[in-house]
Amino acid sequence: MIVSLISNGYEGMISVMIKNMNDWFSLLILLIYKVFHSYMSYYLYYRSPEYRASLNKDKDTIRA
């Protein structure tokens, strides 16, 4: 951004900054999706009947 400010002026720096923000925003959306997907995978696994059956088989207590 500093190089674009020196060579292209204020308008050039603003256009580079907007492009960088758009790139980071798309990456942020993908990161939020991945975190949500991982969370739901773990949550649904621990609520599944297979997991609860494995707890009963091992004589552990079931947490509601």
Encode the chain (64 residues) as per-residue pLDDT tens digits: 666 667 777 777 788 888 888 878 888 999 999 999 999 998 888 888 877 777 766 565 555 5
pLDDT of residue 61: 56
12: Cβ contacts below 8 Å, ≥ 6 apart: 4, 5
pLDDT at site 35: 95
Q: How far apart are alpha carbons 14 and 24 in whole angstroms?
A: 15
Tell me what pLDDT residue 37 has: 95
Determine if the pTM surpasses 0.85.
no
